[in-house]
Amino acid sequence: MEPGKQRKGYLGGLALIAILTGLYWGLVQAPPDAYQGEVQRIMYLHIPSILTAYLSFFLVFVGSCLYLWKREKRDDNLAYAAAEIGVLFTALTIAEGSIWGKPTWGVWWTWDARLTLTAVLLLIFVGYLMLRSLLEEENRAATSGAVLGIIGFLDIPLIHMSVYWWRTLHQPPSILRPDKAPWENIHPAMLIALTINFVAFMLLYFYLLSLRFRLGELHDEIKTRRMSGGR
Amino acid sequence: MGPWGFVFLAYGIVWTVILLYLLNLKRRIRRAEVELVRLRSAEDLERDAKA
């Protein structure tokens, strides 16, 4: 087996083990929340999902800046791959939040600043993917994508600060607070469940990203061979 | 729906969607690899014919 494929296999295996451990801690070991009850267990997916989406769009930002600077296809491939996976995790974050919101807030959706800005983030990057698939000229698609990717990333600081700048239904951070250490804000078993799920999502993310990046490389080689062979 | 119903709905949607995306990604990679093999062998045939 090729070393690259073997490494991806190990990463996928590690991700699977971490996901199963995270499920056990999230659904069995962690106690129910004193106020929200069992529904709070959705947070073991919701928080890692949005952090994974943020990381993904940060990579879109980095890849896009590097592409505009150096014009290397590899950087554009990274940005394109990260955008697709970022869209997946943002959509999942909104779905999880909606399912948690119904029993907790009484509504599936509300036009709260943080929720709305997250929906805007999703729409921007769905637009990014559409733009990439619609523009046929490769350099133009990559350049337009890079500009949109950089603009789209600027929504993330707004999402983060929205709970401080506006009166929102979405609560401010309850674990990472400046006044207390994380373990003072949450039951240790809940913190362990959250940490394991975060690690699981990170491993899964890099596994998916490596596969999606490989797909981009394969498409590039196909295009190059077709052009050189006139097929 | 009870609280566990919401929990299983969320977990079910998340892991099903991720699994479907992973399977779709692997299918796209397989398809691209097959296409690449086809292009490489066509190039080899062309080179042999010229030689």
Domain count, chain B: 1
Domain ranges, residue B29: 17-51
pLDDT beyond 70 at A187 = yes
pLDDT tens-digit readout, A79-116 = 999 999 999 999 999 999 999 999 999 999 999 999 99
Name the residue ranges covered by the structural domains of chain A: 49-226
pTM of the full predicted structure? Answer: 0.91
B40/chain A closest Cα distance in angstroms: 8
pLDDT beyond 70 at A19 = yes
Burial class (CB in 10 A: 0-12, 13-18, 19+), A145: buried
Chain A residues with a Cβ under 8 Å from any Cβ in chain B: 19, 23, 27, 37-39, 41-42, 45, 49, 88, 91-92, 95-96, 99-100, 102-103, 204, 208, 211-212, 214-215, 218-219, 221-222, 225-226, 229, 231
pLDDT beyond 70 at B23 = yes
Q: What is the pLDDT of residue A1?
A: 65
B14/chain A closest Cα distance in angstroms: 6
Q: What is the DSSP letter of A26?
A: I
Residue B42 lies in a domain: yes
pLDDT beyond 70 at A39 = yes
3-state secondary structure A46-99: HHHHHHHHHHHHHHHHHHHHHHHHHCCHHHHHHHHHHHHHHHHHHHHHHHHHHH
Residue B30 lies in a domain: yes
Structure tokens at B32: 């691209």
Q: What is the DSSP letter of A39?
A: G
Task: Report the residue from B1, B7, B40 with minimal CB separation from A42.
Answer: B7
pLDDT beyond 70 at B33 = yes
pLDDT beyond 90 at B46 = no
pLDDT band at A164 (very low <50, low <70, confident <90, very high): confident
Task: Report the residue from B21, B29, B39 with minimal CB separation from A214.
Answer: B29
Q: What is the pLDDT of residue A230?
A: 56
